[in-house]
Copies of this chain bind each other. A is one copy, B any other.
Amino acid sequence: MKSKITITEIAQKSGVSVSTVSRVLNNSPSVSQKKRERIQQIIDEHNYTPSVFARGMINQTTKNIGVILPDITNPYFASLFLQIESFALKNMYATLMFNTMFSRDSRRFDTHLTEEDYFKIILEKQVDGVLILGGQIDKEDIADSFIHALNQLHQHVPVVVVGSKIEGCECLFVERNLKQGVTSIVHHFIALGHDRIGFIGGEPGIRVTSSRIEAFSKAMKSLGQSVYNPYIVTSDYYAPDGYAAMIQLLDANPDRLPSAVIAHNDMVALGAIRAMKDRGVHCPEQIAIASCDQFQLSDFSIPRLTSMDQHNEYLGRMAVLQMISAINGSDETITINHSPELVIRESCGATFKSG
């Protein structure tokens, strides 16, 4: 392994002192044009880059940020992370990723680390900030010890979480508009003439879930519709969960099926449609489906999925922006204003009904 050239050597080769080299490195104005150019040339020639170690020792920064999320295999996190990574890099920050596998579905994973263990690891990595996407932070009742650990972490580096604000947690929050999506779908279904509407998917006890179910109830009631509890089945966020939820819903209401069902996301919707097919129930003719979170394949499934485009690109960028602003010592809170957008395809039956 060829070791890197140091500032001292550059100084020698340029016939100046290290401080002068340091000055051109940091764009200090007080260097004569001539010397600057000569030195810069030698730097380029030797492909020299300053040691991050020596640098970090002085200003205590790595230009790295840590991202903690449950599972990169989940398309929601993948698309969010992609935006985060690229936007961070544009701002000269690289990204360390940690999958906590915190989720009911991933118990199969042989990891024994808690999220608090990850906090410790990430702190040792001396990142300049940490971004938290989902996980325990989304639980309905969070262990005090977790909040405590979070606050403690936040004392060392800025922590921004993408999720709803939590009482007693001092971290920065970037909130997404969880409710508007459900509300739009309810309106859409009602407009289509549905009156028996259900909701499936999402892990119980998780705020993303309850928040959507709540928005569902509220929207229904505000339109004079009654909410029928057997039409609400929670499970989790993946396709097998949508499958299980739909089977349960079908079995529980054999002679009074819902006419439309809202799925927590596209994977849940796909699973649900699969379940219906296996039970000989047609989508959208017998039960229409729409999902609150669009993934990549919505336009290619059978039937094509009607879903909400949550504009995750925007969300990711905002999170990074908030992060950088906090790293730079600002305490300003960035408010985000994204409007989920209903994309009508086939599974909601809109074209079916109108045609």
Which residues of A61-89 are within 8 A (CB) of B? 62, 64, 71-73, 75, 78-79, 81-82, 85-86, 89
Residue A123 CB within 8 A of the other chain: yes
Residue A96 CB within 8 A of the other chain: yes
By DSSP majority rule, is chain A's interface helix, strand, loop, or mixed? mixed
In the complex with contacts A78-B72, A121-B89, A53-B126 CB distance below 8 A: yes
Whether B60 and A57, one on each chain, are in contact in the complex, defined by CB atoms closer than 8 angstroms, is: no
Whether A82 and B73, one on each chain, are in contact in the complex, defined by CB atoms closer than 8 angstroms, is: yes
Partner of A94, one of B1, B54, B111, B125: B125
Partner of A99, one of B2, B86, B239: B86
Residue A243 CB within 8 A of the other chain: yes
In the complex with contacts A53-B53, A53-B56, A273-B302 CB distance below 8 A: yes
Partner of A96, one of B64, B71, B72, B79: B64
Within 8 Å CB of A243, what residues of B? 300
In the complex with contacts A96-B94, A277-B302, A301-B301, A239-B296 CB distance below 8 A: yes
Within 8 Å CB of A121, what residues of B? 89, 94
Residue A297 CB within 8 A of the other chain: yes
A111 CA / B85 CA spacing, docked (Å):
12
Partner of A95, one of B2, B97, B124, B239: B97
A95 CA / B57 CA spacing, docked (Å):
21
Residue A349 CB within 8 A of the other chain: no
Within 8 Å CB of A339, what residues of B? none
In the complex with contacts A53-B56, A124-B49, A296-B73 CB distance below 8 A: yes
A56 CA / B2 CA spacing, docked (Å):
16
Please give the distance in Å from A276's CB to the nearest CB on chain B: 10
Which residues of A121-138 are within 8 A (CB) of B? 121, 123-126
Within 8 Å CB of A51, what residues of B? 57, 126
Within 8 Å CB of A260, what residues of B? none
Residue A337 CB within 8 A of the other chain: no
Within 8 Å CB of A240, what residues of B? 299-300
A71 CA / B301 CA spacing, docked (Å):
22
Whether A274 and B296, one on each chain, are in contact in the complex, defined by CB atoms closer than 8 angstroms, is: no
Whether B297 and A267, one on each chain, are in contact in the complex, defined by CB atoms closer than 8 angstroms, is: yes
Interchain Cβ contacts under 8 Å between A and B, 18 examples: A1-B157, A1-B158, A52-B53, A52-B126, A53-B53, A53-B56, A53-B57, A56-B56, A64-B125, A72-B72, A72-B81, A85-B98, A89-B98, A94-B96, A94-B98, A96-B96, A239-B299, A277-B302
Known: A73-B78, A85-B98, A270-B300. 16 other contacts (CB 8 A): A1-B156, A3-B60, A49-B124, A52-B53, A53-B57, A53-B60, A54-B57, A57-B57, A64-B96, A72-B72, A72-B82, A78-B78, A85-B99, A97-B97, A270-B297, A301-B302
- A-B residue pairs, 10 tightest by C-beta: A53-B56, A53-B57, A239-B300, A274-B300, A49-B124, A2-B155, A302-B302, A52-B126, A73-B78, A53-B53
